[in-house]
Structure 1
């Protein structure tokens, strides 16, 4: 059990350090609201799409393309999204529903999930996790764009507005533009790949510093009830139901373990970036990210322990 705890902490602890740096920089007045707005825009429109593009074109499709597992993951993710949405209609104020739903289903698979899958299952975890990450990035961003557009503070969106918000979403563009390069294995110049990687590496530090910069005691207090509800759905109910469903569908061993890790990941930092980009309650999004990242050290390890104990992985 202790090695699993240490593995999880080794992935989640750096996230907390960057969040704390964001809090500290605001307290020192080295950054302010204008910087956070500009940096969040840069992440959303440029660095994160670059990161997603590179992630997709580097995925080993031949080694890890498992249609049955990928189809199950898509169906489970959509089901979790719809469940969170139904709960939000009953539980949340209208203006916060989009952020609540996004926080409840959108996991940090590209960082936490992939790192843990690789740590536990080696090259197989890296290959299968990379393909899953590329797939769900497109799915997450499309579903998030829909629910955030519907509950946009700028007014209700019609079907055309929703479609346009998906097609214009820089994160969706980053993934879809990479698919032809990955499928036909089109090589890019090494200097271009290196430059892209330098640029993409700005994504996570900038996003986490911006999240930390928006956190205050008053924000945490005001958002605590809704954030805790969304976080419990993300860290407990969704991984519990989705992993049990995967077991009933016959998944065992490394496949079931990787599915659990991806279902149980804390909420992605990109949910804050998207919420801020559409003028939604980005402070609620930041609080959900903090709670789920903190909770991941407990819930992921307990889940892995139970799956080992039951002999399912």
Structure 2
């Protein structure tokens, strides 16, 4: 297969995902959807359709093929490594009061939507089920480490660790994984009509979530992104995925496992980071700028990354 065919095959995977993001941007600009719709749809995705998608993808999966403790363990360690790298850089180059926001923006990816959508497009059912299991690690690691970074530079406010722990434990995506794994392991079957209804409901997740991401993009915020937002965005979209994917390859990951890891490491900064920054009294404008800039960059960096890995015969 020539490089042109590889590149066109890469676009077949990445273009539909990012096209939906820009559809959301257009719908908001034309006034077809408003902030109330975005808020309601985002809640529906987070609390309902995405947990359903994760649950169904896991119970339909062959756990012998997708439950890979080595993959999950490596992702957790590499996430910790990217967190420490971002923090170390922030200690050297970022003003004290902005360090927590910078660190979160530089390591916390949007695995639940962008990476999962790309994994589904690239690897089908395997991408959904293995990606769903990775989400359990993603949610725990990203939330816990983000709180540590933000709380370390929080001024004049007391961090409510108990409340944060309860919120993580009640996260619908974590609950979906916790419930789905024993159901799949025991081979418990659900009635056909319930599976079909669940699949209808779950199929709303990716298009609705991607439209909401696009609708919340602010081109003005992207234009006003300063040095800190640009630095955090380059760390998230270039440095972290290159180093983490190289490390994964060096320890023996290849094929679809390496591809899956790359997609999760290369995903843009999660929109949830803005909510956490705002709740903990950080610089919400900086957080929003990082989200906007990384989302825009992702269409280029992820496409080039997948193309490069495919051209090299690694995935």
| TM-score (normalised: structure 1) | 0.79
Give the structure 2 partner of residue 297 of structure 1: 303
Give the structure 1 partner of residue 101 of structure 2: 96
Higher mean Cα deviation, 7-16 or 256-265? Answer: 256-265
| TM-score (normalised: structure 2) | 0.79
Is the CA contact 1:227–1:288 (under 8 Å) kept in the aligned structure 2?
Answer: no
Higher mean Cα deviation, 71-80 or 188-197? Answer: 71-80
Query: Which runs of no fewer than 5 residues in structure 2 stay unpaired?
Result: none
Superposed displacement of residue 100, structure 1: 0.3
Is the CA contact 2:10–2:303 (under 8 Å) kept in the aligned structure 1?
Answer: yes
Is the CA contact 1:100–1:226 (under 8 Å) kept in the aligned structure 2?
Answer: no
Superposed displacement of residue 137, structure 1: 0.3
Distance in structure 1 (CA, Å) of the matches to 2:167 and 2:210: 24
Superposed displacement of residue 138, structure 1: 0.5
> Would you say 1:283 and 2:288 are equivalent positions?
yes
Give the structure 1 partner of residue 31 of structure 2: 29
Distance in structure 1 (CA, Å) of the matches to 2:309 and 2:253: 14
Query: Which runs of no fewer than 5 residues in structure 1 stay unpaired?
Result: 119-125
**1:247-282 CA distance string (max 9 Å, x none):** 433x165366436544554337xx225644885647
Distance in structure 1 (CA, Å) of the matches to 2:309 and 2:226: 24
Is the CA contact 1:235–1:295 (under 8 Å) kept in the aligned structure 2?
Answer: yes
> Would you say 1:210 and 2:192 are equivalent positions?
no
Is the CA contact 2:236–2:268 (under 8 Å) kept in the aligned structure 1?
Answer: yes
Superposed displacement of residue 69, structure 1: 4.1
Superposition pairs for residues 115-264 of structure 1, below 5 Å?
115-117=121-123, 127=126, 129-130=127-128, 132-150=130-148, 151=150, 155-223=157-225, 225-249=227-251, 251=252, 253-254=254-255, 257-258=258-259, 261-262=262-263
Aligned length in residues: 298
Distance in structure 2 (CA, Å) of the matches to 1:88 and 1:57: 41
Q: 1:80 to 1:99 in 2, by over 3 A?
A: closer
Distance in structure 2 (CA, Å) of the matches to 1:300 and 1:272: 23
Q: 1:21 to 1:205 in 2, by over 3 A?
A: same
**1:114-139 CA distance string (max 9 Å, x none):** 43346xxxxxxx64x45541332011
SS at match of 1:44: helix
SS at match of 2:159: coil
Is the CA contact 1:104–1:230 (under 8 Å) kept in the aligned structure 2?
Answer: no
Of 48, 51, 63, the residue aligned with 1:49 is: 51
Superposed displacement of residue 166, structure 1: 0.9
Is the CA contact 2:59–2:181 (under 8 Å) kept in the aligned structure 1?
Answer: yes
